[in-house]
Structure 1
Amino acid sequence: MSEAVTRSVHSASTSPGLLASLDPLLREWLPRQRWFAGKGRPVTGFSLVSATEVLPLDSTLGVLHLLVQAHQPLVPTQRAPAHPADCYQLLLGVRETLPPRLAPALIGRPAQGPLAGRTVYEALHDPRPADVLLEAVRERARVGELRFERDTRHEIRGDLVPRLITAEQSNSSIVYGDTFILKLLRRIVPGVNPDLELPLALSREGCDQVPAPVGWMHADLAGDPYVLGVLQPFVQGATDGWDLALRGLAKGEDFSGEARALGRATAEVHTALARALPTVTMGRGQMELLVDGMTERLEAAVQAVPTLRPYAPGLRSAFDALADLAGGGETWTAQRIHGDLHLGQCLRSPSGHWSLIDFEGEPSKPLAERRMPQPIARDVAGMLRSFDYAAHSLSQAAGSDGAGPAAGWADMCRAAYCSGYAETAGRDPRTDPVLLRAYETDKAVYEVVYEARHRPDWLPVPMAAVRRLALSEAT
């Protein structure tokens, strides 16, 4: 194994005027980014966590890596977070003038400080900074506080052409020559990130349903580890499950075969995670906490979206039924799971092989919560809701009420997915209907709040599930 390459860090990045000079530019630019979590609240200031010159700022092209905390006022119903502000990873390019091809990446020109008069832009749009990141992984470089690692069993060529994926994502991804994809995490929290932890564990188990990490980028700051990016093989020609499902729906094609295969892939991942990492038994105390959380989220949702109020008793009955089972002595096995599973987190290769990606979990949840063992029913419920959501989304776009062929399509896919899961895992998730209904209900309530806040026209989509779940009874 070769020794890591250490690169020096120049002084401009540590200048006390650096963040002050960038502040007005970032206040304007940052809230417009898809991955910015604090939309709807003003940014009142920034704190610098880390600044590293990946390429010297006094050269023709400088590249500055920043971790900055964005300070925002709390909303009235928000509890004080464990960390005072969200921390974001930024990669900024610095040039005298910006070539026309990089015009969409413009952030602005600082009026003061060490970058005064120069042009600052989003560096990921520029092939040269993207090349530097891959080169650093290849070399296992150390650049200031940044650390780049790789699995030396994999060759990483230096002639791979980078391209930024411009589709809306909660992070940013660069594809290198259709060979590798580097996912740069945007909202950064200290600790062991499951987006690296779980794929590494699955790789050790030989699970080929998840692309194995080839390299990664991290930093240790004040004794805390920060995972910043993960390099994995790129599944060339793959289609994500959401797009594939919508295409099939639009053409009236049967998707149950794909749903069954996806169920088998999910079970393979769950089985491998149970081998690789500890499992626990959830009894009455743990289930009471789980049910209490679901009930609190329902009550908050009813306050936020009054349309839910008539259905609240029926929805609450799903949680009460789970509490009754736990009170009667029933227990459940919990293990590490994906945590945010839906059709968009699955890739189908041209050969028909399904892969699961993006193990970060729900970014809005605390990291400790995302790393807790949970029943596999949570992942299954997320996927069942995704099939239902796809069907009703298409109906919504067509101006119908979601009944008829689209609803029947969802029912077939949900059944096929569970059957495929059972073929591999040896147990059908539907044999635990009370737990599954509770998780589906919790997910549908979340969807109602999300749509009410962000896409009111789409509120009928999760409300269709709410009506069904409020009237159903698990047996």
Structure 2
Amino acid sequence: MPDSSTSRIALPDTAGGAALLHSIGPMLTSWLPRQRWFAGKGRPLDGLTLAAATELLPVAGGPAPGLLHLLVTAHQGRTTDCYQLLLGVRHVLPPVLAPALIGRPEEGALRGMCVYDAVPDPRLTSVLLERLRAPGRLGALGFRREPGTAIPSGLVPRPLRSEQSNSSVVYGDTFILKLFRRLSPGLNPDLELPLALARAGCRQAPAPVAWFEAENPVRTDTDATLTLGILQPYLAGTSDGWQLALRALAAGREFHRSAFELGRATAAVHTALAAALPTSVLAGAELTAVAEEMTERLERAVEAVPALRPYRPGLREAFRAVATLARTGHQCPVQRIHGDLHLGQVLRTDAVGVDAHDKDDGGSWALIDFEGEPAVPIAERRRPQPVLRDVAGMLRSFDYAACQRGSGDRRHRWAAANRAAYCAGYASATGADPHAQAALLRVYETDKAVYEVLYEARHRPNWLPIPMAAIRRLAQDPK
């Protein structure tokens, strides 16, 4: 591999960088908006600028592929987003990689060559693993490895097909590399929080083994880096909580013990994060501001989804309860949390054996994907929050699962029983029952349900009745 002194693709402030973008820019302008992880769908792409370019494998004249790493800024009106691209370059593209083709430049140094998304190419994703095995800098990129970890060579890579806001590559059922596509300045919580948990001895989250990053082109004191990718252990043979819950519902099996143990695992993560990272309290004006932010989100949702209008008074009353707590001197502890917790963000490591014997013995739960909501700036995702926000997210997830299987009273009983078991498990580990803070728990459930209504109305109208059922319940007077 070339070192930074022999990189063939010049950085964007040079003529070479400008020539590169001029050559491949038209192809990228057409290809980017079609990717699932592109955030600006539905809005015209006005143009691209190149923030950084690094040649990970030289683009040569022979049959061997080249590998380019680009940081590209997409401009859409007043909105700009930075994206990470891994581009393969070949004279001839093998048929198996044909779906990854981006195009063939008509001019420039890459004229006539096949430029394609490199993630499906095992020959090129092997290069990333080798770079992570030997930490150091290459061009704009910095590769780092956690002390005391080992990364074997020769692990065969394969991309995961279920892509959303990121891309993932599994190496030999040993490691998984998450590649962030849309980048936000600052340390990504999906690296920061699992590192803190691992160093605190918490085993309920996979520990980062290695990662790579780049300097933020628009650098400030608080967001000097861009987290590009994280290598973690791959938990082979696991099932996520969503699939396990659906299978339990379909088979008529109980899920109470699993929900109880999941509550304990959540509590263990919260306890470790509170010990490892700074904590604070919300009180007075800050607590009032939380209620005002939630009320503003409700009003925007009501404008977009008229079905919410009959429930607006009851929902607003829930948020006013928080303002009342603030006036009476209530203090709400806040700390770092998962930020987007639901059944799809937890894995049970002994799920195969449990399913085979049709048992519900709780198992061993691990929390994953600490990134938070990708559409929210990292600075906001890193703000300390009440743990009840995570608890509320999981409670809403039990409601969602119940609505996928079963009907009527059975569905409601299943959801209620598992919501109660989850909170009981949490209380058994911390001594603090989430239900003891009923007003705050209701507020965070309400805020989550309002978000769900807006999301489902825009993306999955057939699912809208699920959060609307929660809205009807939450809008009622809790007394």
Q: Shared topology, TM-score over 0.5?
A: yes
Whether 2:403 is the aligned partner of 1:392: answer: yes
Q: Distance in 2 between matches of 1:447 and 1:73?
A: 27
**Equivalent of residue 28 in structure 1, options 27, 30, 38:** 30
Secondary structure of the residue aligned to 2:427 is: helix
2:107 paired residue among 102, 105, 112? 112
* Structure 1 runs not aligned, ≥5 long: 75-83, 396-401
Partner of residue 81, structure 1: none
Given the two structures, how large is their TM-score scaled by the length of structure 2? 0.92
Residue of structure 1 equivalent to 2:284: 284
Preserved CA contact (<8 Å) 2:9 2:53: no
The code of the aligned residue for 2:173 comes to D
Quote the residue 2:320 is aligned against.
Answer: 320
**Residue 142 in structure 1 maps to residue 137 in structure 2:** yes
How do residues 229-248 of structure 1 correspond to structure 2 at under 5 angstroms?
A: 229-248=229-248
| Matched letter for residue 29 of structure 1 | W
Cα deviations across residues 31-90 of structure 1 (Å, max 9, x unaligned)? 22221111211211111111111111235311111111111136xxxxxxxxx4111111
Residue 96 of structure 2 corresponds to residue 101 of structure 1: yes
The amino acid of 1:404's aligned partner reads: D
- 1:291-344 deviation per Cα after TM superposition (whole angstroms, max 9, x unaligned): 111000000000111111111111111101111111111111000001111111
1:358 aligns with 2:360: no
In the TM superposition, what is the alpha-carbon distance from 1:29 to its structure 2 partner? 1.8
* Counterpart Cα distance in 2 of 1:255 and 1:8: 58
Q: Which residue of 1 aligns with 2:470?
A: 465
Report the equivalent of 2:7. Answer: 9
Instruction: Please state how far the C-alpha of 1:20 moved relative to its aligned partner.
Output: 2.4
Q: How big is the shift at 1:365?
A: 1.2
The separation in 1 between residues aligned to 2:477 and 2:120, in whole angstroms, is 49
Shift of 1:8: 3.4
Asked if the contact 1:51/1:64 (under 8 Å) is kept, the reply is yes
Question: Which aligned pairs between 1:197-208 and structure 2 lie closer than 5 A?
Answer: 197-208=192-203
Aligned to 1:421: 426
| SS of equivalent to 1:432 | helix
Match for residue 438 of structure 1? 443
Equivalent-residue separation in structure 2 for 1:115 and 1:429 (angstroms):
59
Q: Deviation per CA, 1:113-159: give whole Å up to 9, x if none.
A: 22221111110100011100000000113210111111241211111
The amino acid of 1:270's aligned partner reads: H
Structure 1 residue 112: Cα displacement: 2.2
- Closer, same or farther: CA 472–98 of 1 in aligned 2, 3 Å: farther
1:437 is paired with a residue whose SS is helix
Any conservation in 1 of the 2:59–2:66 contact (CA below 8 Å)?
yes
For the 8 Å contact 1:281–1:332, the answer to whether it is kept is: yes
Gaps of 5+ in 2: 352-362
- Distance between the aligned counterparts of 2:216 and 2:467, measured in 1? 42
What is the RMSD of the two structures over their aligned residues, measured on CA atoms?
Answer: 1.5
Secondary structure of the 1:155 match is coil
Contact 1:304 1:449 in 2 (8 A): yes
CA contact (8 A) 1:191 1:367 kept: yes
Q: Retained in 1: the 8 A contact 2:86–2:119? A: yes
What TM-score do you get using the length of structure 1 for normalisation? 0.93
Kept in 1, the 8 Å contact 2:67–2:89? The answer is yes
**Alpha-carbon distance between aligned partners in 2 of 1:249 and 1:229, rounded to the nearest angstrom:** 36
State the one-letter code of the partner of 2:378.
Answer: L
**Runs of 4+ with deviation above 6 angstroms:** none
Percent of residue pairs identical: 60
CA distance 1:149–1:259, change in 2 (3 Å)? same
Aligned to 1:187: 182
Structure 2 residue identity aligned to 1:181: I
Tell me: CA distance 1:267–1:99, structure 2 relative to 1, closer, same or farther (3 Å). same
Distance 1:313 1:145, change over 3 A: same
Partner residue of 1:127? 122
CA contact (8 A) 2:9 2:54 kept: no
